Structure 1
Amino acid sequence: MTVYVDEITDYGDVARRRGLRSTQWAHLTADTPEELHAFADRLGLKREWFQNAGNYRWHYDVTPAKRAAALRAGAREIDRRGLADLMAVRRAATSTPGGRNGGQSLTVPAPPAQTSLPVSTEPAPPDSPIFGNANGWAVVVDRAGRRCECSGQCGGAHRKTGGRCDATHGGYAGKGCPPIRLEVAPEDPSIPEHTAAHMPPAQLMAWCGKCRAGAVNRAKPARGKKAQPAQSDALFDAAELT
C-alpha cells in the first residue's frame, strides 16, 4: 500500500474566500482510506479534514509544511497527471463488481528511477517543516542563525528589521498560532521541490512560511483572470483532473 501527495497549488482568492490561513495546498491520498487515515494521524491531521468521503476523490488537503512532513514520513510524490490517473482508476473501479474498489489495486505505476545527488548527513529535527533537502535542514538553519534569510525576495522591504525578515525558528507567530517553523529551499522559487531536495546546503536558504509563499507568488508569470470554480467542501475539484 502507498500514500501519495501531489504538487502544491496556490488557490489564491478561492482559499481566502473560505477563510483559510494558507492559499497553498496539496492533496494527500492513498491506496485505501484506512491507510490514508492512519498516515494522516501520524501527521497530526484531524479526521474532520477528510474530504470527499462519499466518492472516489477522497483525500486530505495539506499545506506545504504538512506536504514536506508527509514526504519525510514516506509518502510518494506524484504530479497532477499522476493524481488524475489515480482518480481515473478509482472512478472505473467504483463501477465494477467487487465492492468499493472493485477488487482492483489502486496503485499508480512507479516513476523511472533517478540518480540522487549527495546531500548533507546532518539530520533534520523530526517536527521541522522542510521544503527541500531534508538532510541539510539543520546545516542551513544554523548557518542562518535560525532566522529567515529573506531580504526582499518575498516582495517586502523589511525596513524595520534592517532589510531582512526577523522571523526566527520557534518564535512567536501571533496569538493562537503555532510557533514559527523555518523551511529550507533555494533562493530561486522557480526551482521545483524534487530538484531542491537534492541540492547541497550551500545552495539553499532558510525561509519563514510567509516569505516563502510571497516569493513563490512573485515568481509566477502574470495571468489573466480565470473563471471562479464552483463552491465545494474541498479545494480539490473535478476540473483539475482534465
Structure 2
Amino acid sequence: MKKLIPLLPLGLLFTACQTTPPAPQPTDPAIVQITGKVSSGTGTGTIELRDGVSAGAATLSSASIAADGSFTLPLPTPDKLAGSLVSADTVLGQLGCEGTLTSGTPGTRAFGFAELQATRSGATMQVMTLSTDLNLLPPHLAFTGHAWVYTDQATTLKGELDCTKLINSPDTISRLTVSVDTRTRAGWNVLKLSGRTSGVSLPTSASASASVVQDVPGSNWRTVNDIARGITTLSAQVK
C-alpha cells in the first residue's frame, strides 16, 4: 500500500496555495517588460526573445543576465513585431499548441511566446516558467505557467487546444489539454495557465485553463529538463 506524504513544494517556482493574480483592469499600467530570474545554469549572460526557435530566427528583444540570474527584458514594440504577427485565433500555435481559438474581434493580429533563449557562461538553453506541486486529495500534480500574448486590439479568445508540445516532456506529461476563455487588452498580456495532472504515476495526462492576469514580476525561468526533473522528484514522493 502506498504511503502518502504531506505537500512538498521543494522550492519550485510557486506554491499551489499562492493567490491568483486578479484579472487586468483598463486602468492598469501597460505591460512593457519581463522582470525575472533564470535559475538554470550559472554565471552572467544574455536572454533573448526570438521569433521562433530555429537557428536563423530573428531576435526581437534582448537583455543581460546578472550573475544571480536576474534580468529585465523589454517587450518588443508594435513596429518590431510587425513581421511576426499572426491571426489571433491561431496565436497559441506559436507556443506549440494545436487547434484554433475563436477571436471575438475579427481581424485581430497577435504574437505569443512562452520560451526565452538564455545563454549563461557560454551555454545556450531554452527556458520557460512552470511551477509544480504535489497535492494529495486526490494525489495529483498541480502546476502553474505563464505565456505572453500581444494583440493589436482588445479581443476575446475562447477554445480548447492540445498544448502537449508546450511542455514538450513526453516522459512526464504525455498530453496537455488547455481550455482558453479570456479577454485581452490591446498591447501585451500575461496569460496564466493553471492545471493539474490526472495522477502522479508518470507519464500522465494533464488539463489546464488559461486566462489573462495582471503582470507577474519576478518570474522564474528554467529549462524543460530542469522542470521535468522537478516533476519526476515530486512524483517519486508518493510511495
Q: Same fold (TM over 0.5)?
A: no
The higher relative CO (CA closer than 8 Å, separation ≥ 6) is in 2
| Bigger fraction of residues in strand | 2
| Bigger fraction of residues in helix | 1
TM-score bracket, normalised by the shorter chain, equals under 0.3
Using the size of structure 1 for normalisation, the TM-score is: 0.24
Using the size of structure 2 for normalisation, the TM-score is: 0.24
